[in-house]
Amino acid sequence: MTDIFHEIQEDLRRERMRKLWDRYGIVLIAAVVLAIAGAAAWSGYTYWRQQQAIAASSTLDAATALNTAGKYAEAETAFQALAKTGPEGYRAIALFHAANAAAARETAAGVAAFDAIAADGRLPALVRDMARLRSGLIVLDTSDLAAVKQRVGDLAAGTGPLRNPAREILALAQLKAGDLAAANKTATEITEDAEATAGIRSRAELIRRLTAVPAPASAEAPAAAPPAPVPAASAPAASENAPQAPAETPAPPANTPPAPAAAQ
């Protein structure tokens, strides 16, 4: 009897498994196939990205060699092509290299290239701020204070990580424009910032010294005393051998007889 019950239970178990397989077998097979296909696709995508990175690295090296050789126009074109077709990680690097090549070729072209990077909303904020800083550094030598403020003014007034480099550029522009008070104020902001690096701090201190206004005297200096009179030259002492003036002859006494008259 016990064997019969075991056989019945086995038959029921097999029947349940068969029903489950009939219902979900296709789904299970599809899931396994999809998992294998997904793993294969991910592996293929990873390999493709590696090949893209290798090709982009080779292109970057070739463009850098052109830039080093002084072929700035060709290097700029190569960097721009890499920025358009290369992997996302190479885009910002290629754009910065292209802007540097443009600046080496022509200052105005370099400023325009960095301004374009600063205005590109697809790039990270830090990359755009670095482009504004680079553009401000270029126009520091070629334009006026207003052009520098347009590019680095907001950075200098903010609290971002590039505020002190921006303040240094702004202080130099103010010093160049002859606004010594503003340059001193901006340099003081750098020296009072605990996060300023040692190099920027030392240069800011130099600007402060160059633009410091002398403090007014607390009291007027006393009038100069009149010069002491020069003593007159003392008369030379009488020589010991010089004849002395005769002392006054004393008057004769009253009862003294008169002297005899001289003989005729």
Domain spans, the chain = 1-105, 128-213
Q: Which residue has the tokens 């005769």?
A: 246
Q: 135-156 pLDDT, tens per residue?
A: 999 999 989 999 999 999 999 9
Q: How far apart are CA 101 and CA 93, in angstroms?
A: 12
Q: How far apart are CA 35 and CA 24, in angstroms?
A: 17
Q: What is the pLDDT of residue 48?
A: 83
CA distances to 216, 219, 220, 227 from 223, in Å: 18, 12, 9, 12
Token digits of residue 132:
């504004």
pLDDT higher at 233 or 21: 21
Radius of gyration of the chain (CA): 51
Q: Cβ contacts of residue 140 below 8 Å, gap of 6+? A: 148, 169, 172, 173, 176
- The pTM assigned to this predicted structure is 0.67
Question: Mean pLDDT across the stretch 235-251?
Answer: 43
pLDDT higher at 152 or 259: 152
Q: What is the pLDDT of residue 239?
A: 41
Q: What is the pLDDT of residue 4?
A: 66
**Which letter, b or e, does each residue of 215-243 get, where b requires 16 or more Cβ atoms within 10 Å of its Cβ?**
eeeeeeeeeeeeeeeeeeeeeeeeeeeee
Q: 54-75 pLDDT, tens per residue?
A: 888 999 999 999 999 999 999 9
**Using 50, 70 and 90 to split pLDDT, how confident is the model at 47?**
confident
Q: How far apart are CA 169 and CA 165, in angstroms?
A: 6
Question: Mean pLDDT across the stretch 32-50?
Answer: 88
**Closest of 133, 126, 68 to residue 97, by C-alpha:** 68
pLDDT higher at 33 or 255: 33
Angle among Cα 237, 243, 246 to the nearest 5 degrees reads: 115
Q: What is the pLDDT of residue 87?
A: 85
pLDDT mean across residues, the chain? 82
